[in-house]
Amino acid sequence: MRLPDSFLDALRASNDIVSVMSQYVELKRAGRDHVCSCPFHSERTPSCHIYTDTQSFYCFGCGAGGDVINFIRLIEHFDYMESVRFLAQRAGMAMPEDGGSDDMSRKRTRLLEMNRDAARYFCDVLLSSEGRPGLDYLAERQLTPNTIKRYGLGYAPGGWHDLQFHLRKLGYNDLEMEEGALLARKNNSVYDKFRARVMFPIIDRRGNIIGFGGRTLEKDAPAKYLNSDETLVFRKRENLFSLNFAKNTKEKFLILCEGYMDVITLNQAGFDSAVATLGTAITPQQANVMKQYATEVIISYDSDGAGQNATLKAINLLGEAGVTARVLNIPDAKDPDEYIKKFGAESFRQLLMGTTTALEHEFGRLQNGVDTNTTSGKAEFLKRAVGFLAKLHSDTERTVYISETARISGQPVGAIADLVKDKIKSNSRFERREEERELIRGSVKRDTINPDAVNYPREEKAERGIIAYLFHSPDVLPRVEKALNEADFPTEFNRKVYHFIAGHLRKGENVDISSVGGEFTAEETARITGICRQADQLPYSLPRLDEYIKVLVDHRDSAADKPITEMSDEEMLAKMDELRRRKHKT
């Protein structure tokens, strides 16, 4: 149902897009507008623009865009009405009585309720005779009853259908359980996904149980941990375990761990700012989430090779998000859980105070396996150091580490500075080539929003021009309708957009990016935003509009001259519609 324009206008006015987006990403002023690194894809150079005059955003890198409502749709993975409610609640506004709730919102609520009931079931099983293996394991890990309750830990019994039959009694059907990733499917049968595992509920920032992690108690099991598959309410790359607690910490830093038990042990020991990724390496989205709650992140990964590689990735992603990263070196233990059990919480607190900066950590790693007392060792160290220094963004930091490199390698500071300068230029050329290749790859990959575009490249460009012009100057609709019919748009998506715009303009209704949100998906709304933003780079003029119209008219006329046997389905429909129009005029 279409929300009143007056409500949407008030909602946008109460949720300035700069204010809302700044809670998710770091914005930099660019004239009267702002730019930022896009939160929807990884990039080095900011390509996401926020326009204060139109209260919209658009990323020229990945094509994400829209108004403040569409931003919330994309970043929170809400549907349209959920995004409106989210912003209304933020602004203290009441929803219109006729706003209603759509099917997607109801399904989302249903899945969250089912997860909550599943979590209660796992908790009950843990305290029963059937859950004794799980309770023994948690006791062995020295977790207190209060911690077990605080995290809602449970146990999944070993049967193939125990949870399934329990949830059926509560009114849930198998399709819902499968869509919620509580059931797995093999061939034509479904069964409990989690069996004979200690269960860790995953809770989002709003307190909803969105998924589960399960730890097997079998020693030789191929997968120690099993996590929920992604669902309508659960996306691993955007959530962090225990963030529901860490977001309320009084500390100015978060402690980033590898696993559930590290986080729970730290929390039990009094370190409530600990979080962990959900069975995957850190993602750009998780780095941006952490930035909302802390200015600094202490990376506390395992000391093995995999942990060190994960540390390097975390340093880079946190740096790109604008978060200060520090690295915790844990002596005589492989992880925080083991260290606290050996040496206690106070000793761990002292470790936190002695963390090294990410740069110190990485610079120290340059000498690993290198004997700088030999000529070949110095050359290898210098090669590594130059590559490292060329990637630093701060001139001050680069100057400091150039001096340190000169001291270790025995080479003049000026010579090293020249090598670094050359490497920076080389990297810039390489990055430009990669960006060009990515643009080329992006231009040739299948367009999922408007797949017809590849068959009508010239006409599709003209369609976009007309659509953008109608957003900019709605008064030209009669000029367009005099020459063109809806069926004259050869691509289905653009035809749908034109149908929407023309229909509302004929009713005397306003049409802008906000008004399309209720009729199109978040991705489609982003595409429409891109159509308008890219068109803004050229002047709006009637001769330009007439050129676009002529392209579509020529296409229609050329299709009309074809024998029926050679026409595509779209051309056939356009031909029939044109004949009906001519008959109506006569």
One domain, residues 359 and 370: no
Query: Measured between alpha carbons, how far is 404 from 362 in angstroms, rounded to an integer?
Result: 13
Is 290 a member of any domain?
yes
What pLDDT shows up at residue 45? 80
Q: Assess if residue 100 is contained within a domain.
A: no
Residue 307: what pLDDT?
64
Choosing from 203, 234, 265, the residue where a domain stops is 234
Domain endpoint, select from 421, 442, 463:
442
In the chain, DSSP finds a helix count (H) and a strand count (E) of 26, 16
Residue 100 has, within 13 A of its CA and on its CB side, a CA count of 9
**Which residues does 393 contact at the CB level (< 8 Å), separation at least 6?**
319
- Structural domain boundaries enclosing 391: 366-442
Residues 417 and 459 in one domain: no
Helix, strand, coil distribution of the chain in percent, nearest 5: 55, 10, 35
CA distance linking residue 101 with residue 79, whole number of Å: 10
Q: Are residues 437 and 538 in the same domain?
A: no
Chosen domain end from 175, 204, 234: 234
Beta bridge partners of 214: 199, 226
Six token digits for residue 409 = 């390698």
Instruction: State whether 348 and 380 are in the same domain.
Output: no
Any domain includes 98: no
Q: Which helix (H) or strand (E) holds 379?
A: helix 375-390
Structural contact between residues 69 and 80, judged by C-beta atoms closer than 8 angstroms = yes
HSE-up of residue 346 (Cα within 13 Å, Cβ side) = 0
pLDDT in tens, the chain (586 residues): 567 777 888 888 889 999 999 888 889 988 888 999 888 887 778 889 999 878 899 998 888 999 999 999 888 878 888 889 889 888 888 887 644 445 667 888 899 999 999 999 999 999 999 999 999 999 999 999 999 999 999 999 999 999 999 999 999 999 999 999 999 998 889 999 999 999 999 998 878 999 999 999 988 777 789 999 989 889 888 889 999 999 888 888 999 998 899 999 999 999 999 999 987 788 888 888 888 788 899 998 876 666 666 777 788 788 877 788 888 888 888 888 899 999 999 999 999 988 877 777 777 778 778 888 888 888 888 888 888 888 776 677 788 888 888 888 888 889 889 988 888 888 777 666 655 555 444 444 567 889 888 889 899 999 999 998 988 888 899 999 999 999 999 999 999 999 999 988 888 777 777 778 778 888 899 999 888 887 776 777 888 899 999 999 998 888 665 555 555 665 566 556 655 655 554 4
Residues 459 and 579 reside in one and the same domain: yes
Contact 552, 484 (CB under 8 A): yes
Task: Answer whether residue 498 is part of any domain.
Answer: yes
> What strands, in cross-sheet order, belong to the sheet with 324-327?
274-276, 253-257, 296-300, 324-327, 356-357
Same domain, 298 and 351: yes
Q: Is residue 344 part of a domain?
A: yes
- What's the pLDDT at 146? 96
DSSP letters spanning 205-232 = TTS-EEEEEEEE--TT-S-SEEEPPP-S
Residues 494 and 531 in one domain: yes
CATH number of the domain encompassing residue 210: 3.90.980.10
230 domain residue, yes or no = yes
Q: Decide if 45 is inside a domain.
A: yes
In a domain, 534, yes or no: yes
| Dihedral angle over CA of 162, 168, 173, 127, nearest 10 | -50
- Considering the domain architecture, whether residues 267 and 372 belong to the same structural domain is answered as no
Q: Say how many domains are in the chain.
A: 5
Mark whether 184 and 111 lie in a shared domain: yes
Residue 553 sits in a domain whose CATH number is: 1.10.860.10
Q: Does one domain contain both 136 and 156?
A: yes
Same domain, 30 and 137: no
- Total residue count of the chain as it appears in this document: 586
For residue 531, give the amino acid letter.
Answer: I
Residue 262 is part of a domain; what is its CATH number? 3.40.1360.10
My answer on whether 115 and 216 are in the same domain is yes
